[in-house]
Chains A and B, each alone.
Chain A
Amino acid sequence: MRIGIVGAGSMGTVHAEGWAATDAELVAVCAEPGEAPTELAARHGARACATLEELLDLVDVVDVCAPTDLHHDLTLAAAAAGRHVICEKPLARTSAQARAMITACRDAGVQLHVGHVVRFFPEYALAKHTVDRGAIGVPAVLRFTRASYAPKGRDDDWFADPARSGGLLLDLMIHDLDQARWLAGPVTRVLARSRATLRPGSGPDHCLAVLTHEQGAITHVEASWAYPAPVFRTRFEVAGTTGVLDHDSDRDAPVRTIMAPTEDLADVPIPGSPMAESPYTTELRHFLAVLRGQTEPVVRAEDGLAALLMAEAAERSLHGGRVESVAPLEVPA
């Protein structure tokens, strides 16, 4: 299976390392039109392509690690060329784009996968398994926290521009919106509140949402870029009818270092606990097995659409102050 990565930023780099640990072949990398990412390509013995067309000619699978607002156009181009697509989360900048991507890939007869990588983080995967085997009964009250320092601005600063990235809700909270739905089923109603604490005018950097699930559960979600560096804290708690499980990345860290203050921070904070295999590798290995028809997907493109619909309801609630219904997950037949 020949892989081509589009986008050579933080995620493109992480995915390239992930592919290197599989038996797939990373053959091509491209980034901005006309700017072949030679450094990343050289590191993995791949070709640095100047254009998307050049990359499409070389690969079976396109791994979209480009800015969020480009996911739609890149996916449609890949589908038109008959290439399978693995797309970073969020699946698209809007749910309408996500629907169009799902339709286009289906019509082209190619697979579309969305990188909701948190489903492959071992603590979350184990929580899902534990809930699914009935160990704590039916989930009733769920809590999720994902809190870090603000991502640093880069070249064109697309990440800091909510119009391009979707901001805090689409980029960060969407992980736990997906988790809430994965663990406790579809969400019908959302109330959300946000603050721009650090950079007024640049969009919310701290947000809380209260979700009501179709089957009765309620969920509290905290997403924040308002914590001081180098914090990247993840927590969850699932209270079920017969038991409670929880995780706290601070409490459960097996290795702790305390360093003198330094400015040497990653542009985009990426969480992780030391593991034999990176969750990104686990995710890509899984997609590879799905592409080869060896297993059923843990996460479908429709899940990516559902997460976007929840984030969009939260976004409406932020602006209007009211409880918002989540639009139904209707995928065109």
Chain B
Amino acid sequence: MRIGLLSAAHLHVDAYVANLRAAGAEVVGLTDDDPGRGRAWCTAHGVPWVDSTDELLSRDLDGVVVCSETAAHRRDVEGVAAAGLGVLCEKPLATTEDDAKALVAACERAGVPLLTAFPMRYSPPMREVADLLGAGVLGEVQAAMGTNQGELPMRHRAWFVEPTRSGGGALMDHVVHLADVLRWYLDDEVVEVYAATNRLLHAPTVTVETGGVVLLTFASGVFASIDCSWSKPDVYPTWGGLRLDLVASEGVVGVDAFAQRLTVHGGSDGPLAWPEWGSDANQGLIDDFVGVLREERPPAVTGHDGLAATRVALAAARSAELGTPVALDPAP
């Protein structure tokens, strides 16, 4: 499998390059709107630099991973689809619903697979909960409480806090993962979204919201909350985390996707470190992408899933602006 990388804007590309190599794929090259950033990244990761997207797409590729700024996803995915190549696109899919719909439609027209980068679909702890729910041992889910909190991401990439490029702040960054997990677990669509946001954390540094609590209501009446705040301090032992508690008719289940870790006090890692020993969910995502390209089978998570989660995040942003719950048409 010959894979190209479109942009080093999103920090996940750092992980994907190792995941691609581990999956036996050849990382053919990377191009970037910002040649300085791209060239430096290529040097650091031993990947060939390519001068333009056209040139990259002409190199007999099987697929492309799009890690550009969210606002550039539509242009990039449409370009890859036009070249007849499969795409793995970083989340969220786009900064507007029109863009998200357009890039999904472009892949459908071209007949190429589109995966949205929702690695939680491949996380073994998250999958175990899906299996429990599927087996029916917990009965019917009634409500869910989730957190996907993190550090201020600008420490890694400054564009995350520039709304013209990222589409917003903590809401755009962190609502989509749990929105997707909940759609997956409940096999249901969100019909109403409420979001309360603020900018008390990192207030002098950024213009976007840094705190957010979102309440989703599904068609079945089940409701779920998502705390998407950038509320982990810079000294937190890791980037953040993802947890979900589900209350069901026959019991409750809680999952912490990143609980599988050691606790290390002192030494060269600092006062407190949490090296992870759990399976790498990004590897599952990349393995699926490579498998889809190789075997022409459907992926575990699609562009449609990315579109649905993006619509939830955008509705949350509208709700925060209006100060009221907003309705979401489940089948646009």
Contacts and interface: CB of A to CB of B under 8 A. Distances in A.
Interface of A: 138, 140-141, 143, 145, 189, 191, 193, 195, 197-198, 206, 208, 210-212, 216-220, 222, 224, 226-228, 231, 239, 241-244, 321-323
Contacts of B53: none
Interface in B23-67: none
Interface stretch (B81-89, B229-237, B306-314): B229-237
18 contacts: A141-B227, A189-B196, A191-B194, A197-B143, A197-B249, A206-B142, A206-B143, A208-B145, A208-B223, A217-B211, A218-B196, A218-B197, A218-B212, A218-B213, A220-B213, A222-B225, A226-B247, A241-B203
B282 to A, nearest CB: 26
Contact of A141 (B215, B231, B248, B323): B231
A311 B247 CA distance: 22
B95 interface: no
Contacts of B145: 145, 208, 220, 222
A27 to B, nearest CB: 44
Contacts of A195: 142-143, 221-223
B217 A193 contact: yes
Contact of B215 (A208, A227, A243): A208
A244 B149 CA distance: 12
Contacts of B202: 241
A228 B252 contact: yes
Nearest to A226: B247
Contacts of A321: 325
B324 interface: yes
Given A141-B198, A244-B233, A323 B324 contact: yes
Residue of B196, B198, B201 ringed by the most chain A CB atoms within 10 A: B196
A323 B325 contact: yes
Contact of B247 (A140, A217, A224, A242): A224
Contacts of A143: 147, 227
A239 B325 CA distance: 24
Mostly, the B contact residues are: strand
Contacts of B251: 228
Given A191-B215, A197-B143, A222-B145, A141 B249 contact: no
Q: Which of B142, B213, B324 has the most CB of A within 10 A?
A: B213
B135 interface: no
Nearest to A227: B252
B331 interface: no
B143 A216 contact: no
A152 B201 CA distance: 42
Interface in B187-204: 194, 196-198, 200-203
B255 to A, nearest CB: 14
Given A143-B227, A210-B196, A191 B142 contact: no
B328 to A, nearest CB: 14
Contacts of A323: 194, 323-325
B213 A189 contact: no
Contacts of A231: 252
B200 A241 contact: yes
Contact of B227 (A198, A216, A220): A220
A85 B252 CA distance: 40
Contacts of B142: 195, 197, 206, 226
